[in-house]
Chain A
């Protein structure tokens, strides 16, 4: 099936964001495990896998629309030197993802590609949940202090 103008570009732009996120969460998961924060390791690891599932969906859809998935491009993979910094950088990444998705949804509406739009809408909902989670973590840290927060991350759930 032929894609509407600009749709493959949007799909590839979001694929870039997702592929970057896979790497960012994957390395942060291992960094947390290395620091002994088992609970955060699991959380980041799951995030990485979730982004991989999104990527799979995007790749399949790009191929379905007779495009070529661009696996080559990555944004900057942002790695912090502390847990708090990692969370802050993840928030940055997720906010960027939401922004990219929002533009893509508007575009899909204007070219009347409703299936791609629905897919983007599902993705934006899950990214917004992720933004919420990250904001909560940063707020928790602000209220209870980083030591208390980290003490809760040593054991897994």
Chain B
């Protein structure tokens, strides 16, 4: 399944990265390009869930979140 539609990222791709040792939040953000302005911000805000998928967790944990968060606001640009 697609865990992220903004960047068309599948759970398989995240797991593959995890198996290759990419499980740190910063490394996942960097590798998957989640620091992009096209992103809705969900992945960054809930990066621990993406880490769980990278470590072989159920991708539905990622999808099952009750609500989208408010868009992440960059304090420095306020």
Confirm or deny: A126 has a beta carbon within 8 angstroms of a beta carbon on chain B.
no
A112 to B67, CA, bound (A): 27
User: Residues of A contacting B68 with CB < 8 Å?
Assistant: 73-76
Cβ-neighbour of A78 out of B1, B10, B66, B67 (below 8 A): B1
Q: Which of A79-87, A128-136, A138-146 contacts its partner?
A: A79-87
Residues of B within 8 A of A85 (CB): 1
User: In whole angstroms, how far apart are the Cα atoms of A74 and B12 in the complex?
Assistant: 24
Selected contact of A89 from candidates B1, B5, B12, B66, CB within 8 Å: B1
A interface secondary structure, majority: loop
A96/B64 contact (C-beta < 8 A), A76-B42, A81-B10 known? yes
Q: Is A75 in contact with B5, judged by CB distance below 8 angstroms? A: no
Tell me whether B45 is interfacial, beta carbon within 8 Å: no
A79 pairs with B67, CB closer than 8 A: no
Q: With A81-B1, A85-B1 in contact, do A76 and B63 touch (Cβ < 8 Å)? A: yes
Answer whether residue B77 sits at the interface, using C-beta atoms and an 8 A cutoff: no
Q: Of B1, B66, B67, which one neighbours A80 at CB under 8 angstroms?
A: B1
Q: Is the CB of A76 within 8 A of B62?
A: yes
Q: How far is the CB of A107 from chain B (nearest CB, A)?
A: 16
A81 contact set on B, CB distance < 8 A: 1-2, 10, 12
Indicate which residue in B60, B63, B67 contacts A73 across the interface (CB closer than 8 Å).
B67
24 A-B pairs within 8 Å (CB atoms) are namely A16-B67, A73-B68, A75-B65, A75-B66, A75-B67, A75-B68, A76-B42, A76-B63, A76-B64, A77-B5, A78-B1, A78-B63, A79-B1, A79-B2, A79-B5, A80-B1, A80-B2, A81-B12, A85-B1, A89-B1, A89-B63, A92-B60, A92-B63, A96-B64
Residues of B within 8 A of A (CB): 1-2, 5, 10, 12, 42, 60, 62-68
Shortest beta-carbon contacts, A-B, top 3: A76-B63, A79-B2, A78-B63
11 more A-B residue pairs beyond the given contacts A77-B5, A78-B2, with a C-beta to C-beta distance below 8 A: A75-B66, A75-B68, A76-B63, A76-B64, A76-B65, A78-B1, A78-B63, A79-B1, A80-B2, A85-B1, A89-B1
